[in-house]
Structure 1
Amino acid sequence: MYIFKAITFSIVTAAVIQLIIVQNVYIRLLVVTWMLHILLIGGSRFCRRLLRDTSIKMGSNKKRTLIVGAGSAGTMVARQLIKNNQTELLPVAFIDDNTKIRNLDILGLPVISGVNGIARAVKKLNIENIIIAIPSLSKKDLNIIFEECAETKAKTQILPMLEDLVTGKLSVNQFRDVQVEDLLDRKPVELDIDTISEYITNKVVLVTGAGGSIGSEICRQVAKFNPQKLILLGHGENSIYSIEMELKDIGEDTQIEFVTEIADIQDAKKMILIMNKHRPNVVYHAAAHKHVPLMEVNPEEALKNNVIGTMNVAKAASKCGIGTFVMISTDKAVNPTSVMGATKKLAEMVVQHMDKISDTKFVAVRFGNVLGSRGSVIPRFKQQIEKGGPVSVTHPDMVRYFMTIPEASRLVIQAGALAKGGEIYILDMGDPVKIVDLAKNLIRLSGNSVEDIGIEFTGIRPGEKLFEELLNENEVHEQQVYPKIYIGKSADLYMDEIDEIISIYTTLDKVSLREQLLNLANNNVIPISRKLISIV
């Protein structure tokens, strides 16, 4: 266009000068001159660009790339890859389900077929890399595309999230690998920003278990609402130090005061001391033992941490007049078959009981498994895949509810805003996911085939069940209190039995304690978990 404008302006100027000086315009000469200039000046630059692009395409170090999506995002990706000589990717074709642009060329790249033709296109064009460039893609449609891509040996990547592109955090050519979270067919819960800001902004917030997967993410989410002070309480000094440094880096431009407290929630006096010292307005109780098989062989530790620890923190919060207390629970507390699930159910009862006798608003938040948390199935599968397999799955029919760590943390924060006291909040977690399907997706996402890595079924571990539940039949309450958030009906509380078990822990040493508990559990015949289950 610049060349066209410059040459046209020059010819028009020459015509004006001819008209003024010789009083005649040589139109045929000027037209031929205009055409020759366009051909020679424009053509020379076009040839140079054509040679450059051809040399780039012939580069042996470039990976032949297929772009899924020929819309504005896909076109932008193609343009960036063509212009950038430093990239290792060479776009060769588009895939798009829009039949109106099928068989057309965009930026010199053909639109060859729809999504169902990905495998054929990869084989025909020797594709090494696939980029999914459809930002508006639903997770259901992404699953369909990924299934097609998984049939090939090409590496599959996806555009960065839209918010990262808009904020300038990432550019359009900084692709990322498809994550298992991308394939989770559920929409994140949106927060009621105004209500949350009202009870967090410029307030003092304390998080127990702040170094854990959920606790640390709660800290990150809370920090976005600019509390006056954020207290990070945990037992492990390394994890607390890590989240403290991360938060200070993130919040260096804010006035938030970050305070660390290394303490054990089993220490009742220390909990009261910390509550009195900081006088928090809100407490998020995320500290707990959560590993099901480990708690089966260490039932007394599960009780001490999950039940007694929760009671210590709850009583300290009540004694110091804390405004809101939010406890993180689990779907394993529903009809529990494990020590961990049973102790979390007991902890829920403790929290509901405390709400009845205290001015503090006590609530619990119950959700399923979180993707990528410490000790969860995802990191374990990734380790096994890195070692070459096989991936161990307990049972082919094992299913679980899944959500991301940020989603779980946002739910906890939203529950605090909704709290009136005594509720158990449950998130609508969508459809359960088969663990074996999760394993297959992770294997494919790693660039391997299921046949090469292999899947080994090891059998259900102690305390596990095939299907998880979020509510039992006595707790079901169909009305939503917030989009995708439900509230369970209050269940019977067994505080006398809970107090009896806790009194055993406080009066006996560890050896005698275990013997006493086993004696209570039907003369050492029935595992201790059955005793707990009989209570709940």
Structure 2
Amino acid sequence: MSLRTETRPAKRSPLLSFSSRLYHMDAMIWLLSIFLGTAVRYEFQPSQIHLGFCLALALLAILLQLLIGSSLQLYRRGLRSWTGTFEEAFTLGLVVTITGVPLLIFTLIFGTDWGVSRGKILIITPLALILMLVVRYIARTREERALRPRPGSTPVLILGGGYVGSNLIRWMMSDPNSEYRPVGVLDDDPELSKLRVLNVPVLGTMDDIQSAVEATWAKTLILAVNQAQPELLHRIQDQASQLGLSVKVMPDIGEVVNRGLRENDLRDLSIEDLLGRKPVQTNVSEIAEYLAGKRVLVTGAGGSIGAQLCVEINKYEPSELIMLDRDETGLQTALINVAGNGLLDTDAVVLADIRDGVELERIFRRRRPEVVFHAAALKHLPMLQQYPEEAWKTNVIGTHNVLMAAEAADVDTFINISTDKAANPTSALGHSKRLAEKLTAWFGASTGKTYLSVRFGNVIGSRGSMLPTFMRLIEEGRPLTVTHPKVTRYFMTIPEACQLVLQAGGIGGAGEVLILDMGEPVSILGIAERMIELSGKDVEIIYTGLREGEKLHEELVGEGETEDRPYHPKISHTSAEILSPMDLNESEFLDSLVQEPQIESRVTQ
């Protein structure tokens, strides 16, 4: 076994960490400018030029340029520093101007003895700046020509000529290994009409996609628009499909500004983009106030929501993050996400089942969590319709066990993750989660502490959810099954759901149910059709009819519940009914599921 030693370069002083080539060029420009400016001042009469004074002035200018330029980091990137353009030009102008002031003072003091005109500095300094800018412009032009993408690269149209679009073009034009070659820009800004963005022509607005493709033979359209609306994405995708263009998207402007542009930032347009969830603003200070420095426990930490919750909670620096689940593989994944390793030899992960109330209370009394997020649940509606007893054991009794353990450990904040199916429930899943909400409200009332529930709908990309299922079926070329052509559901992303859950814990009151605004319900058939279109495959859609207990359209607010949004525009507050644990009755729960099927449930296509 051999050991490799790594030699680290010695640190260089700021004064020496500069491009000597660029500095030498500027020094020569000062020398040239001083003699040329002097010659201009004296109308090119050699007898009037004082060679000794010019050399002294040049030496002073060269020395000042070195000292001032190095201190302002003008030479940190050499001839390729033109990538900063405006910033570099501003710094250069500042350095030359500051250098010119001592030169003027030197001329005022000593110029009289030499018979030198004091006004010639007003010619020399601007001349030096102009020549330095010209040299840098020539260097930039040569670099651009030398680093153009290879001829075999894919011609692309850039939709958006702003900050993101111009950075994208700059990256493509400066990387010889780029797979893409920008051939045109499309932008709705009338001020960019008929102009060029970094030498790439603006060919019109989005309405001109067809003519732009015909003129450039572009194969790909890259969307460089920050936070594009779903309506715009639908329109772009429809037009691109008709023209045979592939569509790729860029990250938000915040990511580009914070870390720059990366090669793998370009990605295909996804169904999540087309669903169009706007980023929700959360109040970081409210979240940090009840999480920072606290012991936080998450049940169901191995699931999609629980695992992402752990990632988000960890950002607020709790004193301890305890991840509890009965799925050891899920816990390993959660630990990798939070700690960067899956060794499973840490107290941060706890293997336990919420159905085991005795063990759960023992864990809570020993670890003493102060904040609990209860995300453990069974969630597949048709499965629980077949086995409602399992819904009772996990979603009802399991929640009761967690609440009992939380009360025994004197937990301050308890957040129960619920579902939109608890509003006017018609299924085993909905009824069980509704009971969990009522139990949470009872414990909130009895303890006087912040025990509340948070209700939201389908989460995009969660394990076992619709989108991953559709993606797998499409990849395998198998038909997509849709229950009903008119069925709709609410959707939100996993990070968005988790951020709003965390926010809810900071603004919710004891016994409340907080309902997260999911936007407008989305057509499942529309999603299926879009996914098939994005895949480019010919996949059949089969209607199976609504399943038992399933609604045609989900609801977020139940009958008799009122909506009030006193703190956050995306979070409604309502009061939950209270149910004492003494009144829990499994027989009544099972009997509530025996009901006349809904009219929608009998519709089969």
Map of 1:427 onto structure 2: 516
Cα contact 2:325–2:352 (8 A) shared by 1: yes
Amino acid at match of 1:72: Y
Larger radius of gyration between Structure 1 and Structure 2:
2
Cα contact 2:164–2:253 (8 A) shared by 1: no
Matches within 5 A, 1:68-467: 68-135=159-226, 137-168=228-259, 170-171=261-262, 174-249=265-340, 259-446=348-535, 448=536, 452-467=538-553
Question: How far apart, CA to CA, are the structure 2 residues paired with 1:215 and 1:90?
Answer: 42
Question: How far apart, CA to CA, are the structure 2 residues paired with 1:123 and 1:435?
Answer: 35
Please report how far the alpha carbon of residue 279 of structure 1 lies from its aligned counterpart in structure 2 after TM superposition: 0.7
The 3-state SS of whatever aligns with 2:218 is coil
Please report how far the alpha carbon of residue 99 of structure 1 lies from its aligned counterpart in structure 2 after TM superposition: 2.9
Match of 2:562 among 465, 470, 476: 476
User: Which range moves more in the overlay, 317-326 or 220-229?
Assistant: 317-326
Question: How far apart, CA to CA, are the structure 1 residues paired with 2:191 and 2:137?
Answer: 32
**Consecutive unaligned residues in structure 2, runs of 5 or more:** 1-21, 50-130, 599-605
Q: 1:401 to 1:46 in 2, by over 3 A?
A: closer
Amino acid at match of 2:35: T
Q: Deviations over 1:56-87 (max 9, x none)?
A: 46x23x11111001223222211221121101
The 3-state SS of whatever aligns with 2:243 is coil
The 3-state SS of whatever aligns with 1:167 is helix
Question: How far apart, CA to CA, are the structure 2 residues paired with 1:454 and 1:325?
Answer: 45
Question: How far apart, CA to CA, are the structure 2 residues paired with 1:495 and 1:45?
Answer: 78
Cα contact 2:227–2:252 (8 A) shared by 1: no
Map of 1:486 onto structure 2: 572
The 3-state SS of whatever aligns with 1:65 is strand
**RMSD in angstroms over aligned alpha carbons?**
3.5
Q: 1:325 to 1:74 in 2, by over 3 A?
A: same
Question: How far apart, CA to CA, are the structure 2 residues paired with 1:227 and 1:8?
Answer: 59
Question: How far apart, CA to CA, are the structure 2 residues paired with 1:5 and 1:483?
Answer: 60
Q: 1:317 to 1:368 in 2, by over 3 A?
A: same
Amino acid at match of 1:340: L
Cα contact 1:271–1:316 (8 A) shared by 2: yes
Q: Deviations over 1:440-497 (max 9, x none)?
A: 3333444x26xx3343323223322110000123012244442211112333648665
Amino acid at match of 1:236: D
Instruction: Count residues with an aligned counterpart.
Output: 487
The 3-state SS of whatever aligns with 1:374 is coil
User: Which range moves more in the overlay, 115-124 or 232-241?
Assistant: 115-124
Please report how far the alpha carbon of residue 417 of structure 1 lies from its aligned counterpart in structure 2 after TM superposition: 1.4
Question: How far apart, CA to CA, are the structure 1 residues paired with 2:211 and 2:479?
Answer: 29
Q: 1:92 to 1:266 in 2, by over 3 A?
A: same
TM-score if structure 1 supplies the norm length?
0.81
TM-score if structure 2 supplies the norm length?
0.73
**Residue identity (%):** 37
Amino acid at match of 2:554: E
Cα contact 1:158–1:175 (8 A) shared by 2: yes
Cα contact 2:511–2:575 (8 A) shared by 1: no
Please report how far the alpha carbon of residue 246 of structure 1 lies from its aligned counterpart in structure 2 after TM superposition: 2.3
Map of 2:93 onto structure 1: none
Question: How far apart, CA to CA, are the structure 2 residues paired with 1:76 and 1:176?
Answer: 16
**Higher relative contact order by CA 8 Å / sep ≥ 6: 1 or 2?**
1
Q: 1:310 to 1:81 in 2, by over 3 A?
A: same
User: Which range moves more in the overlay, 187-196 or 432-441?
Assistant: 187-196
Amino acid at match of 1:160: P
Q: Deviations over 1:291-337 (max 9, x none)?
A: 11111111111110000100111111112211111100000111122
Q: 1:243 to 1:45 in 2, by over 3 A?
A: closer
Amino acid at match of 1:398: V
Amino acid at match of 2:522: V
Q: 1:229 to 1:51 in 2, by over 3 A?
A: closer
Cα contact 1:481–1:487 (8 A) shared by 2: no
The 3-state SS of whatever aligns with 2:584 is helix
Question: How far apart, CA to CA, are the structure 2 residues paired with 1:250 and 1:277?
Answer: 25
Question: How far apart, CA to CA, are the structure 2 residues paired with 1:136 and 1:238?
Answer: 35
Question: How far apart, CA to CA, are the structure 1 residues paired with 2:483 and 2:222?
Answer: 34
Q: 1:42 to 1:52 in 2, by over 3 A?
A: same
Question: How far apart, CA to CA, are the structure 2 residues paired with 1:122 and 1:345?
Answer: 54
Cα contact 1:64–1:129 (8 A) shared by 2: yes
The 3-state SS of whatever aligns with 1:100 is helix
Cα contact 2:400–2:581 (8 A) shared by 1: no
Question: How far apart, CA to CA, are the structure 1 residues paired with 2:300 and 2:215?
Answer: 53
Please report how far the alpha carbon of residue 400 of structure 1 lies from its aligned counterpart in structure 2 after TM superposition: 0.6
**Consecutive unaligned residues in structure 1, runs of 5 or more:** 25-36, 252-256, 505-516, 531-536
